[in-house]
Structure 1
């Protein structure tokens, strides 16, 4: 028997930048409750999850950047409240997006608040249980994100010593 309410497939990003050698994560508020969240939305048409994630980052937060890997950082599920009042389960593939540009104008400007925060602050501010472990992931390799050239040379050195 087919499911009457299939799971919604969504994509999102943990958008980050390096400022003064420290990683900062971009959070935004949801339109309905004002909770701190990450950019995310439905995967439409023939779009890949990573392209859909980039599109959501632009539309909702006005940022453009580079997805760091075609493999998602992780996946979480939640129940999305639809306009009809129905709650549907959604699975969100989350990608790491290194920001290269923050725009002055974007489709949802004025509908949300944005804030650049440390990874630790992001973990404290976000209440979505599935997102918090994903926000901790960049904390695990924060120095490598902030110093990509050093990371590469350290990796090369480690390979040569084997």
Structure 2
């Protein structure tokens, strides 16, 4: 009986309670240097931890264009080259102001930075740092994003 109840709980009832993950988009901003590739990390506004620019899809923009807009607002990337296809994805739970967690799926778009500005919408709220992808992987918390950074090799 206990096994039957566990099976019912895990296969029927629990999935009905689980909310689907909301979609976010993110920009994996990078530049090529003489020693290889560097990616741009920014601090989050709330905790100050290292993240990549990300946010919600925007009406009238593709997911890649929305990611590029987030790169401008959060990191000062004014212009860059990007594809419409994501280079990866990661999942995480966003802590809301009321203490609950919202499950999110984030599509990641690589953007090769062509123009970086010091004056951008969130400049007074964030710090930025260029680091090699493997170092960036050690600085972020999300395991799937760590994996994506460790394997990132722009073509």
Q: TM-score range by the shorter chain?
A: 0.7 to 0.9
Q: Which has the larger radius of gyration?
A: 2
| TM-score normalised by structure 2 residue count | 0.81
Aligned residue pairs total: 139
| Structure 1 residue 47, shift from structure 2 partner | 2.4
Note the residue ranges of structure 2 that are not aligned, 5 or more in a row: 1-15
CA 1:44–1:85 in structure 2 vs 1: closer, same or farther (change >3 Å)? farther
CA 1:72–1:29 in structure 2 vs 1: closer, same or farther (change >3 Å)? same
1:57 counterpart residue number: 71
2:107 counterpart residue number: 93
Map Cα deviations across residues 48-101 of structure 1 (whole Å, 9 max, x no partner). 11011001000000013111x221111111111123333111110001110001
Q: Are 1:37 and 2:40 matched, yes or no?
A: no
**Separation in structure 1 between the aligned mates of residue 134 and residue 147 of structure 2, nearest angstrom:** 11
Structural RMSD (CA):
1.9
Q: Are 1:112 and 2:87 matched, yes or no?
A: no
| Structure 1 residue 6, shift from structure 2 partner | 4.8
2:27 counterpart residue number: 13
| Structure 1 residue 45, shift from structure 2 partner | 2.1
Q: Are 1:66 and 2:81 matched, yes or no?
A: yes
Note the residue ranges of structure 1 that are not aligned, 5 or more in a row: 146-162
**Separation in structure 2 between the aligned mates of residue 34 and residue 120 of structure 1, nearest angstrom:** 20
